[in-house]
Structure 1
């Protein structure tokens, strides 16, 4: 089943309904389907083996996604924030491709790789011109690869994650009700198009018949302005975006956000103080923590609006702690916590998160990572409580092994963040002659505070145990994060080299 069926169903049901807004231009579902079919013609004529997007979110991202699907060619949006050397290497891995976006840059860094390059405006215009007149046109059935995404590479070189039509359709059909949105519903999309959340936002919005409002480049001012101007009802943000919106509102910037019924967030760890502030500033908005991976076609666990409000209002420490959880598994997937030997662990026992379900690909162009039974090891570490709420503690690869004892960076960071003078913290393993690894911590300090090393070490010792006490503490202006809000621990480790 081809993912383009989602757009075809939306156009059949509501051809004249506005489906996308970007830079003040409005596209109906009928317009988008016609352009996707025009893009199919363009792709067929080009002979390209991939369709790549090197650009911000716009109508081109939707047209390219579904045009590539109709043509049976993998859609491969690329991270335009990468350095030239890294981007050139990724482009070489998908040659020859029809590349939509930054013509000058692609020509300069990959001009000898055999790509066909088109500016966004030219691609969109030609897609509108090439709408096929033949109603009997045969499109790809959707048995193969729909999307290829290069992983963020926060701990290693990017892998080419493969998502088949069946994986993506499994996620959408299992989590979204067709045509469930009212005509006035609108979702604000600001996640980069090369992230799985950006792709799933397009597909789920179209299947629900919800108007997409695209913000190509995020600023908190523009985000607030679009919420007010378009009467946005739904939005997805990463933690850093929400933090910046909150800061802007607390500084006195005002906008009418009364239309916002739902805000979902994900892509990185949400600081407790940020979500608490958000729940206060948006008292009538439902918040959802959506946890997922590229390899799982987006979300596999949710902490829903009722859970957020119940945790905020509760005096029970276990219930209140759920504000820091990723919630419970979707009904369409299974999640287990396993130890290093693959044994399933009980409640509150820390291990690695495993998942299986129709939406789970677990496949890379280089190899498949699926285990017997269809289980995918996420490489995320965490535990599950008695009621199935899942708590992350970082990447399994990030575990610090001190004298044979495994410890989670997350537990050390959470303790340090209880100190009023610490704005952010990252714990990593550093070389130790005596222990093999010791704990190194990088922190950012709030203005007006100057906590000593001894004070912070005592805090960790009192709350955890002596083995968790940092051997070294480095103060930095800011910790390194990627654009999706994920901490780059490999960069943190360089501070202790």
Structure 2
């Protein structure tokens, strides 16, 4: 089954229904399908083996995604925030490619007659024109639908591939066709090169939500668009939600009464931030979605009822679930394993392994699945007695002090309970005595005095134990995050002296 069938189904069922609002233009489902079919004709005629998007979100993202699917060619959205050298290497790897977006930059970085280039405006115009007479032909089978380059910390990025079967399995397991009532509108503000952006487009079209596309995020623009178009659903990353909350706390509070659901993911959500958001949006259901590129997006959910129950509970164990990523989807198998690959008991930390039809675990270079189809996520975590999954960071981020494994997350959670600490990160620092020790980088909350190091060390000693007390604490104006809200621990490590 081809993911393009989802757009065809919605266009057949409700051709005049608005499927996309972007930059002031409203596109019906029939118009989006015609544009995708026109794009497919252009792609076929080009002879290119990949379809790339180097651009912010726009109607071109929808047409390239589904046009590539109809033509049977992988869709490869590229990170336009990459440095020139890194981006040039990715373009070389996908040549010959049909590339839409910032073609001046493409031509400057990797000029090749094998690539066919279109600016955003020229592509949309050409696809719409070609769509008037386009073929309804489509490619069947289990080919590659999407290729996403991972943001690896070392070496060249791996090319993660998602087949049509993976994405179809995810959508069918999490959504119901045409289930969105008339007027339902999903605000999409994550970039197209992230799996969350791709999944949001496909699931919104399948459920027949109107997509409100925000090409470049700012809290002011997000609040204005959500209010003006009466958004009912939205997906944000933690850094986006933090800026939205901050903007609202400054007094910017438009009418958001239509906003029934906010999903978030892509990075760690501070407990105090989600508590404040629950206060600001008392009638809105919050969902924490945890997933990876290699798993076709979400594999576990902390739903709206879970959020409110944890927020209102007096039971510490239930309260703690506000910091979890919920329970695995019914279509997903999940295990926590130790370094020997053995499943560990409830409450014990280890590496998260997952299995299911939506799990690709496949790269252009190799497959990461074991012989039984399990994918090692490289994320560390544990399950509580209720089956709720708690993340402890990347498996490689674990601090090994004198042979004891220490999760950075447990230290950070304690530090964030201090009223003067706005953000904190724990990393491994070299130690002559222990091999590795704990180093902490902390951000002081605006309007508060910087707390003393001994005060913070005592806080950790009181809540945890002495092995978790940091050897080094440094204060910094801000912590480094990528655009999806993931903490860049490798950069934090360089902030500490190795003397």
Structure 1 segments, 4+ long, off by >3 Å, are 132-135, 154-157
Provide the residue aligned with 2:49 in structure 1.
Answer: 49
Whether contact under 8 Å (1:409, 1:428) holds in the other structure is yes
1:228 aligns with 2:227: yes
1:124 aligns with 2:124: yes
1:193 aligns with 2:212: no
Tell me the CA shift for residue 320 of structure 1: 0.8
Structure 1 residues 283 and 156: CA distance shift in structure 2, 3 A: farther
Instruction: Measure, in 1, the Cα distance between the counterparts of 2:73 and 2:264.
Output: 30
Whether contact under 8 Å (2:37, 2:134) holds in the other structure is no
1:35 aligns with 2:35: yes
Instruction: Measure, in 2, the Cα distance between the counterparts of 1:212 and 1:69.
Output: 19
Instruction: Measure, in 1, the Cα distance between the counterparts of 2:492 and 2:290.
Output: 24
Provide the residue aligned with 1:17 in structure 2.
Answer: 17
Provide the residue aligned with 1:453 in structure 2.
Answer: 453
> Partner of 1:92: helix, strand, or coil?
helix
Tell me the CA shift for residue 433 of structure 1: 2.2
Instruction: Measure, in 2, the Cα distance between the counterparts of 1:195 and 1:495.
Output: 28
Whether contact under 8 Å (2:34, 2:134) holds in the other structure is no
Provide the residue aligned with 1:59 in structure 2.
Answer: 59
Provide the residue aligned with 2:312 in structure 1.
Answer: 313
Whether contact under 8 Å (1:154, 1:489) holds in the other structure is no
Whether contact under 8 Å (1:335, 1:355) holds in the other structure is yes
> Partner of 2:419: helix, strand, or coil?
coil
Tell me the CA shift for residue 275 of structure 1: 0.6
Instruction: Measure, in 2, the Cα distance between the counterparts of 1:357 and 1:128.
Output: 38
Provide the residue aligned with 2:481 in structure 1.
Answer: 481
Tell me the CA shift for residue 295 of structure 1: 0.3
> Partner of 1:245: helix, strand, or coil?
helix
Whether contact under 8 Å (2:144, 2:163) holds in the other structure is yes
Instruction: Measure, in 2, the Cα distance between the counterparts of 1:450 and 1:246.
Output: 23
User: Structure 1 stretches of 5 or more lacking a match?
Assistant: none
Tell me the CA shift for residue 255 of structure 1: 0.4
Instruction: Measure, in 1, the Cα distance between the counterparts of 2:39 and 2:376.
Output: 36
Instruction: Measure, in 2, the Cα distance between the counterparts of 1:88 and 1:333.
Output: 37
Instruction: Measure, in 1, the Cα distance between the counterparts of 2:252 and 2:493.
Output: 38
Whether contact under 8 Å (1:161, 1:295) holds in the other structure is yes
Provide the residue aligned with 1:97 in structure 2.
Answer: 97
> Partner of 2:377: helix, strand, or coil?
strand
Instruction: Measure, in 2, the Cα distance between the counterparts of 1:445 and 1:18.
Output: 46
Q: TM-score by structure 2 length? A: 0.97
109-118 or 375-384, larger mean C-alpha shift: 109-118
In the TM superposition, 1:63-462 aligns within 5 A as 63-112=63-112, 114-131=114-131, 133=133, 137-154=136-153, 157-446=156-445, 447-462=447-462
Structure 1 residues 150 and 433: CA distance shift in structure 2, 3 A: same
Tell me the CA shift for residue 229 of structure 1: 0.9
Instruction: Measure, in 1, the Cα distance between the counterparts of 2:196 and 2:113.
Output: 29
147-156 or 164-173, larger mean C-alpha shift: 147-156
Whether contact under 8 Å (2:185, 2:209) holds in the other structure is yes
Tell me the CA shift for residue 82 of structure 1: 0.8
Deviations 1:347-405, CA, capped at 9 Å, x for gaps: 11111111110000000111110012211111111100111001111000101111111
> Partner of 1:419: helix, strand, or coil?
coil
Tell me the CA shift for residue 343 of structure 1: 1.1
Instruction: Measure, in 2, the Cα distance between the counterparts of 1:493 and 1:149.
Output: 27
1:493 aligns with 2:493: yes
User: Structure 2 stretches of 5 or more lacking a match?
Assistant: none
Instruction: Measure, in 1, the Cα distance between the counterparts of 2:122 and 2:468.
Output: 57
> Partner of 2:331: helix, strand, or coil?
coil
> Partner of 1:99: helix, strand, or coil?
strand
